Amino acid sequence: MTAMIWAEGLTKFYGESRGVTELSFEVEAGEVFGFLGPNGAGKTTTIRLMLDLIRPSSGKLELFGLDVRKQSVAVRSRAGYLPGDLHLYERLTPREYLRYVAALRGLDGLGEGEALAERFELELERPIRALSKGNRQKVGLVQAFLHQPDLLLLDEPTSGLDPLVQKTFNELLREVVAEGRTVFLSSHILSEVQRLADRVAIIREGSLELVEAVDVLRARAFVRVEATFSTPPPQEAFANLPGVRELERRGPVVVLALEGAADPLIKTLARYEVLALDSHEADLEDFFLTLYREGSASAS
């Protein structure tokens, strides 16, 4: 079976400035593939390369086994795209706009758009310029799904959606995948990708850091604990605690990664004077910190 997305050595430079470098990965049919990276990592660049909106400097990129340059129209007819930065025709109503999109996709009426709009409770008759950010995002989602594409390319799809709409969106993704269709979803939020995706690629400064099943990633998840002390504790204070790694130290502030039970850490913290304690689920930046640690640990 051919992969839905296949990239090899994919590189894009904007003049001198780096877009993405030497990306190689595959996305299989029927999976939700999370493309995770901080701002400026190259997520939008990768997606726009797939749609032939920008052209690669080198490397190969195929969707559905078709070259994205040579067979771009065929590729685009089977893909649905939600841009990260959505710009719509302000004067049109959602109905006029969706009818235009459907017509250019060779569909009568709104395609599946009518049913989708109802599901998202999107009002179709008010001009787009009068819509809130959340409602615009709904228009963007509906136009991406209305032709029941085999592959969805969603660039940070959940930004601007309120929780209720987010729930509808999650359900929609599940249905799409149940039908054997494929989702490529970019995000800068670790927890979001963990929730939605089957596999995750992490991209950073234009290159892939890792590609893993989300379960593997989840097994490496941890809680970030930031403790502020009255006087800095000794360097080795948290060295040999089970499930605890020290990530960072800034004067009296110590940042720790905690996996599993909290008790040993709490007992150790109690030996010192703790002025403030903050803990939350690790985000992408924390995750990078641990990647760094592991990298330097294995290098030494």
Partner 1 sequence: MRASVLTRTLRDKWRSFRWWCIGILAFVALYGAVFPSLHGNKSLDNLIKSYPEALKGFIGFGGNLDIGSGAGYLGTEVFSFWGPIVFLAAAIAVGADAIAGEEERGTLDLLLSLPVWRVRCLLEKLAALVCEVVALGIVLWVLLVIVSAAAGMGVSAANLAATTIALILLALMFGSLALAIGAATGRRALAIGLSATLAVAADVLNALAPLASWLNSAKFVSPFYYYSHDDPLQHGLDGSDLLVLLALVLVVACLAPIVFARRDLSTP
Ligand X SMILES: Nc1ncnc2c1ncn2[C@@H]1O[C@H](COP(=O)(O)OP(=O)(O)O)[C@@H](O)[C@H]1O
Name the residues that contact partner 1, by CB under 8 A. Answer: 14, 48, 51-55, 72-74, 76-77, 79, 81, 83, 85-89, 91, 99-101, 103-106, 108, 143
Site residues for Mg ion per CB under 5 A: 43-44, 84
Taking each helix axis as running N to C, give the angle between helix 94-104 and helix 133-145, from 0 to 180 degrees, rounded to the nearest 10. 20
Are the beta carbons of 36 and 190 closer than 8 angstroms?
yes
For the bound state, the minimum distance from the C-beta of residue 76 to partner 1, rounded and expressed in Å, comes to 5
Instruction: For residue 107, give the 3-state DSSP assignment.
Output: coil
User: Can you tell me the distance from the alpha carbon of 18 to that of 116, in angstroms, rounded to the nearest whole number?
Assistant: 38
Which lies closer to partner 1 via its Cβ, residue 100 or residue 272? 100
Which lies closer to ligand X via its Cβ, residue 30 or residue 40? 40
Taking each helix axis as running N to C, give the angle between helix 163-178 and helix 133-145, from 0 to 180 degrees, rounded to the nearest 10. 10
Q: Counting Cβ atoms within 10 Å, is residue 61 exposed (0-12), middle (13-18) or buried (19+)?
A: buried
Which lies closer to partner 1 via its Cβ, residue 74 or residue 289? 74
Which lies closer to ligand X via its Cβ, residue 42 or residue 80? 42
Half-sphere exposure of 272 (CA within 13 A, CB side): 21
Site residues for ligand X per CB under 6 A: 14, 17, 19, 37, 39-45
Contact partner at residue 45 from ligand X, partner 1, Mg ion, none, CB < 5 to 8 Å by partner kind: ligand X
For the bound state, the minimum distance from the C-beta of residue 154 to ligand X, rounded and expressed in Å, comes to 12
Contact partner at residue 262 from Mg ion, partner 1, ligand X, none, CB < 5 to 8 Å by partner kind: none
Which lies closer to ligand X via its Cβ, residue 40 or residue 232? 40
User: Can you tell me the distance from the alpha carbon of 12 to that of 175, in angstroms, rounded to the nearest whole number?
Assistant: 34
Instruction: For residue 148, give the 3-state DSSP assignment.
Output: coil
